[in-house]
Structure formats: structure tokens, C-alpha cells
Chain A
């Protein structure tokens, strides 16, 4: 094998994982939770937020855990996708000084959002 002078593959891997999640799942999540439900396309009786949270909070069943792991994967990878994209956007916009600081800020923000997601999903809900 060979050695490279950077851990960029790690961040790019998360970036691409996020791209997959966003491409596959975000449109349908936005369609259902952003448009269909607020727009009244789904009968109120069949859905409400309290019920969803209640479902997530049911005592551990394999189904619930899978839903939580799925949502955690979608959200955390999306955050890291944003971090990577935003980091290079700032560079493209001409922010040349402090590249390392920008990297720390972006990925730290994504990590913080990921931890928040984990706490919300696995501890509170």
C-alpha cells in the first residue's frame, strides 16, 4: 500500500456519505414532513407530532431502534456534508488565511450538531 500526507479521505468519505443520504432521503422527508403534512395532504388523525415522538420513545423494540439509527445516519452525515461543502465554499469565496481554523470550525459545528441529534434521538425521545 501507499501513504498520503493527509486525512482528507476521512472528511471526503463523510461528505460523500452525506451526499448519498441527501440525495436518497431528504427529498422524501421534506415532501412528507415539510409539505404534505403541513399542507393537509395527510389526514390529521393518521399523524401528529406527539404521536411520532411517542412512537420513537416506545420501550426499545428493534423497529424503533432501526428508525433512530436511520435518522441519526441521515442527519449526522448531512451535517458533515454541509461542513465539508461550506469549508470549500469559504475557500472558493476567497478566504485564504486561516484554513485550519475554518476546518476546525466547520467540522466542530457538524460534530456538535451530531451529538445534539444523538442526544435527542437516543436519550430524550
Chain B
């Protein structure tokens, strides 16, 4: 009995050894319940231990294993081999990011942008708040619904990889960072909106977006960053016209 196999065409780049990325093809066993990450782990364990890639949870929660699978940014733990079989599977590092080694990309730019939008609850009255049991900041289910969808982001950066605007303009704040800023702006417990808006409303923020919508297509968590950006554009425009027409209305 012969075992069925599938070919894996993987982009390799070994700094100090390769001048530029090359493609290496591995033949691995094919199982219809295997995902691309399974195949990569098979290569690392049985064929070539020098192949480098990031992963952690293997269940679509950690956001570490994003790669280009057949040209589309995907979580490799959720991309089944059967979607390509019997054709070979092409695996490349996430587009639009500098490659560190093989399938590992440099995420510093994103991490910096993420911290710039302050993706956490900000309270001006933190010192005077009686926190603790019985003093929680309460929310209605409707208030939770306002931001819940945008809080599902796992920082996998597939949206940056799919975004043609980020590809052309690396200064663009990008889908996930704006979606997370929107998530906290919409949170009824938060008081940090005025700190975030100068960042996301800047010329490198929401205005670069031309509503291509690929971010929302590839998002494995259905966050819909494109909607977050559109809503933020509307809110910023309202604020801008208000401040122009009623400069005395500053709160």
C-alpha cells in the first residue's frame, strides 16, 4: 500500500547563507485532516530541522502562524491541505513584512503601531474609583455588542498582508490597529478616545484607506476592520465639522 503524498513548495531564506529567498520543495504525507501547519511540522521533525516558522496554539487563537498559502494570507493551522490537493501547496512568509528567516517575518512595525493606539481601557478617574468586588464598571449587553466584534482580533496580521494600501504606504497605521482603537473607543467604560483620535485620525491613519476591504475578507476572526475604519472616518468627520462650526463647543 502506498501512502498518498503532497508537495509543499516553501520559501526559504537563511540570512548569511542565501542572497535572496529561494523555493524548496518537500514531499510530505497527505491526510485530508492535515492543515498546512501539520505539514510544516512534519518537515521540521522528519526532513529538514532547519526550516523556521512561528506557531503556538494550533487552534486559531494565538495568531502566530499566519503565512501566505497559495498566495492568500491565512492561518496555517486553519488552512487544510485538502484545499490544494492534489496540487502542490505554496507556502510563503506573510506579504508586506520584512523576512527575518524562512517563514518568519519582522513584526516590529505592527507592534509599534499597536502600542501607539493605546489598545486598553483608559480611565481618567482611576485613582478615585472604588475598584474591587461590587464596584465593577458595569455594561449592558447592548453596550458590549457595540465593540465585541472588534475585540476579537488576535493580532495575526493577515489584514496587513492583504492590504494593498499598506503595501504601498508602510506608514499607514493599518487595519488591525485601527480596529482595536475603535474597539476601545466604543467601550462604554473607556475615557481615552481623545488620546487615540489624534493618532488614528492623522494623515497616516484612517485617511489612507481606500476601502478595498481585503482586510475583512482575510480576517480569520471576522473582525471586519474595514467597517471599523469607515465608522471612524464618519466619527472623525463629524467631530471635525462640529469643531469648525462650533469652536466654542469644546468639551
Contact = CB atoms under 8 A, between A and B. Distances in A.
Given A13-B241, A96-B168, A5 B202 contact: yes
B194 A2 contact: yes
B237 interface: yes
A8 B203 contact: yes
A9 B237 contact: yes
Most buried by A among B201, B234, B239, B250: B201
Contacts of B168: 91-92, 94, 96
Contacts, number: 55
Interface in B197-223: 197-198, 201-203, 207, 210
Contact of B236 (A4, A88, A92): A4
Nearest to A96: B168
> Interface range on chain A: under 10, 10 to 19, 20 to 34, or 35 or more?
10 to 19
A9 B241 contact: yes
A109 interface: no
A1 B194 contact: yes
Contact of B237 (A1, A16, A88, A91): A16
A1 B202 contact: no
A54 to B, nearest CB: 38
Nearest to B250: A1
Contact of A12 (B193, B237, B239, B251): B237
Contact of B197 (A4, A10, A12, A92): A4
A1 B241 CA distance: 12
Interface of B: 164-165, 168, 193-195, 197-198, 201-203, 207, 210, 233-234, 236-237, 239-241, 243, 250-251
Interface of A: 1-10, 12-13, 16, 88, 91-92, 94, 96
